[in-house]
Structure 1
Amino acid sequence: MIFRALDLPGAFEILPERARDERGAFFRSFCEAEFAAAGVAFRPVQMSISENPRRHTLRGMHWQAPPAEERKLIRCIRGAVLDVALDLRAGSATRLRHVAVTLSAEAGNAIFIPAGCAHGFLTLTDDAALEYMMDVPFAPGLGRGARWDDPAFGIAWRAPPAVISERDATWPDFDG
């Protein structure tokens, strides 16, 4: 696994190191020891799949409030997405800044998002699916969100959403 630091402290794009032979390819999607060697203590306790039939489906921006702040490892396992992490950490030098990474099943890359950051994505293909690994179980009462196009964030999505939930479309402007 190759860890490429992103412009938010603690956030990484993780690139696979594929072993190839006549059968195809093999790569690790997660290894606790390799994360530790990169200085990231991460032990997933929950995994989820997000299936998105239509191109330009937008989900986000979501996070969990304390004490259930979660760190996430997200990989696109079918299709491609523009994946965005947004720093909401109090006192962070990069607060309200974001990073965006194109994740695709073909590339096999992933994004690691530290606690205190919001997450969202826009599908770039029909039939896109993402696998989430989280280190804290989902806590519905602590789920939070902000509008995907809040001007405070300045996220340059590649296209307007063709599919978005009512909740994601109507989150209020960020107040923090």
Structure 2
Amino acid sequence: MRPLSVEGAWEITPRQHADERGVFLTWYCADQFAAETGRPLPLAQANLSVSARGVVRGIHFADVPPGQAKYVTCVRGAVHDVVVDLRVGSPTYGRWDAVRLDEVSRRAVYLPEGTGHGLCALSDEATLCYMSSRGYDPATERGVHPLDPDLAVDWPAGSLLLSTRDREASSLVEAHDAGLLPSYAACRALTRH
């Protein structure tokens, strides 16, 4: 495990056991995760998304409270996976980091509550599997425009396909000024144990 430049976010590279039969790995282990990060990750929902090359999903986040942490891996193909610190008052507010997730390295990314998640499919078809600490609630889901020039996320070159929701999402400044972004203090209070 290695911490990313966004405070509280981690990149996880599992140990793979390969032989003539194929590959086995543990892509998430609660005890090991808690020992490395210093916090548990309660799991409430698991999701799978399939995206065509050039599809950008995000940058999505949930209100805090209730908050929603995510643990994400790519089980088929490859994605450019992005975590953005949207926690107002955080020492890494507005910063983003990216990790290539693919079916070869089998890396995963952990995103704490209050951070935004986005991805761009790099392969003809990319399948992402992610687990969340809370179930999906459309009333608490938010988004920031993935192409916001103030964030300046370094997306892969080429045509990027966005959903209507993501194309119409607020910029970081607009979301901040509208009071839609989570506070760092509220995120820290939520994760104390």
Which ranges in structure 1 are unaligned for 5 or more consecutive residues? none
Question: TM (normalized to structure 1)?
Answer: 0.94
Aligned to 1:80: 78
Separation in 2 of the partners of 1:161 and 1:61? 17
Partner of 1:27: 25
Deviations 1:60-94 (A, max 9, x none): 11101122211100000110000000001122110
Q: Per-residue deviation at 1:161?
A: 4.2
Instruction: Report the Cα distance in structure 2 between the residues aligned to 1:160 and 1:20, rounded to whole angstroms.
Output: 35
What TM-score do the two structures reach when normalised by structure 2?
Answer: 0.86
1:25 Cα shift? 2.0
Q: Tell me which protein shows more helix as a share of its residues.
A: 2
Q: CA deviation at 1:162?
A: 3.6
CA apart distance, 1:160: 4.4
Q: Is the 8 A contact 1:58 1:161 kept in 2?
A: no
Are positions 1:44 and 2:65 aligned together? no
Distance 1:18 1:55 in 2: 26
Q: Give the 5 Å matches for 1:155-170.
A: 155-170=153-168
From the two aligned structures, give the one with the greater strand fraction: 1
Which consecutive residues of structure 2, in runs of 5 or more, have no partner in the other structure? 177-193
The separation in 2 between residues aligned to 1:25 and 1:76, in whole angstroms, is: 15
Give the ranges of 4+ consecutive aligned residues of structure 1 lying more than 4 Å apart after TM superposition.
none
Contact 1:71 1:112 in 2 (8 A): yes
Over aligned residues, Cα RMSD in angstroms? 1.2
Q: Percent identity?
A: 36
- The C-alpha deviation readout for 1:112-157, integer Å capped at 9, x for no partner, is 0111000100000111110010001111101101111112211111
Distance 1:15 1:87 in 2: 22
Q: How does 1:1-176 map to 2 (within 5 A)?
A: 3-38=1-36, 39-52=38-51, 54-174=52-172, 175=174, 176=176
For 2:50 and 2:23, locate their aligned partners in 1 and report how far apart those are by CA, in whole Å.
24
Letter in 2 for 1:40: R
